[in-house]
A and B are shown apart, each in its own frame.
Chain A
Amino acid sequence: MGGKLMNKRIALGVAAAILMGGVGACYPGSISDIGEADLVVTVYDTAFNFSPTQQTYFMPDTIIRVGEGDDSDVDGSYDGDILRKVADELAALGYERLEETSGEAPDLFVVLGTSTSTFGWWVPGGCYWCWYPGYPGWGPGWGPGYGGWYPWYPGYGGTYSTGSLGILMLESVSTGQQIPAVWSGVINGLLSSTTANTAARVLNLIEQVFDQSPELSGATNLPAPN
């Protein structure tokens, strides 16, 4: 009788060990690096004809602060680097940047904004960003788009806030019309507190924005949905 009781105790011990060690966590393998929380999303108007060598643009020398949160939540010390990086990327594609004093009317406007709001950023003239983050066309690599996405706090040590940097390309139209957005690139992720890391990370992500936007080059042979 004592032996049977002991065996049951052993079985319970084995069961507890299996439960704790065998399964351990419902969601193992969460992010191990802050960069793994970054998302880069680009979207464009398929009807618009991108012709970089024939199109000029104007980009203000400031990054606007939009959405929720206090301005003080957003570190503005990288604004110059960010604006320069975007201008370099557009120049590499062939777009000509016009200065404010040029007196010419640009074909395009490029506007940058940052927000500490998790849900993207707002732009004048409409809710261009409202489709995100439930866009149903995400490829199979991202799983089926069932249900609704919701913000959560990734399992990464430390205290971080979330934020977005948006780059918006608008078509220059007559005064009084709603301004059509023809292309948008948005970086969303955790805002790091490590200064050097943040700068390098954001610049790399801007590069990714343009790397995944072959339409900006005027290419017609675009990657197939995957």
Chain B
Amino acid sequence: MNHRKLFGGVVALLLAAAFAQPVSAQRAGQWMWNAKYSTVMGMGDTSDFAGGFSWRGATFDIERATSDNFSVGLTVGWHVLDEKNAGTSFFDQGAISGTAFRYVNSAPILLTGNYFAGSRGAVRPYIGVGAGTYWIENRTEAGVFAIENSNWHLGLMGEAGLAIPRPGGTSLTLSARYNWGLETNDTERQYWTFSLGYSVGN
């Protein structure tokens, strides 16, 4: 499927979820906040560019329940990948050697929709999708020189997680999220985030 069509399909799905009439109104209208510590794992070209794993990431979600099982919301984040490598690279007319540092800084801003299985008060598995934009900066530092390339990407996200209830309407969340910044200016970025969160308003 064309990436743009897929993006449009996810946006349409989110809008439909946002305006759907709740089957059960027990939880409808309730706001939830979730602050997450995220680790980051680059995939494909992203991993080739700036390494496979990073401990540096943060994600914030705000959601509004449309029923006991559905919610729509917004997620923002800041995810960092970095890699250092030293060596010699040969090209047609010579060679260059030294130490290179490469970084990917990604800031997703996505509309989200989530489905929570089970009932309130229990441990609830959930899945979610998101669509929106990723601002992604790619930076290479070598010696006393640096190069940057930043783009706004249309982006898609898929997520699976677990919400573990705690007293006082809070919960801990564990989640895995696949982030996909669609190709822009010949650059595409894909990575996983694995997050531990603290949620209020469940």
List residues of chain A with CB under 8 Å of any chain B CB: 3-4, 6-8, 10-12, 14-15, 18-19, 21-31, 35-46, 118, 133, 135, 137-154, 162, 188-190, 208, 212-213, 222-226
Q: Which residue of B lies closest to A160 (CB)?
A: B144
Q: Which residue of B lies closest to A41 (CB)?
A: B96
Closest-CB distance, A42 to chain B (whole angstroms): 5
Q: Which of the 9-residue segments B2-10, B63-71, B123-131, B146-154 touches chain A?
A: B146-154
For the complex, give the distance between the alpha carbons of A56 and B44 in Å.
Answer: 50
Most A-side CB within 10 Å, residue of B33, B58, B86: B58
A6 contact set on B, CB distance < 8 A: 168
Please pick, from B35, B95, B148, B198, the residue contacting A42 in the complex, using a CB distance under 8 A. Answer: B95
B119 at interface by CB-CB < 8 Å:
no
Q: Which residue of A lies closest to B100 (CB)?
A: A142
List residues of chain B with CB under 8 Å of any chain A CB: 33, 35-38, 48-49, 55-58, 60, 78, 80, 82, 84-103, 105, 137-149, 168-170, 185-186, 198-200
Given contacts A40-B98, A150-B147, contact A28 B80 (CB under 8 A): yes
Please pick, from B99, B137, B145, B185, the residue contacting A149 in the complex, using a CB distance under 8 A. Answer: B145
**B35-A11 in contact (CB<8A):** yes
Closest-CB distance, B142 to chain A (whole angstroms): 6
Closest-CB distance, B98 to chain A (whole angstroms): 4
**A14-B35 in contact (CB<8A):** yes
B56 contact set on A, CB distance < 8 A: 22-25, 28
For the complex, give the distance between the alpha carbons of A141 and B96 in Å.
Answer: 10
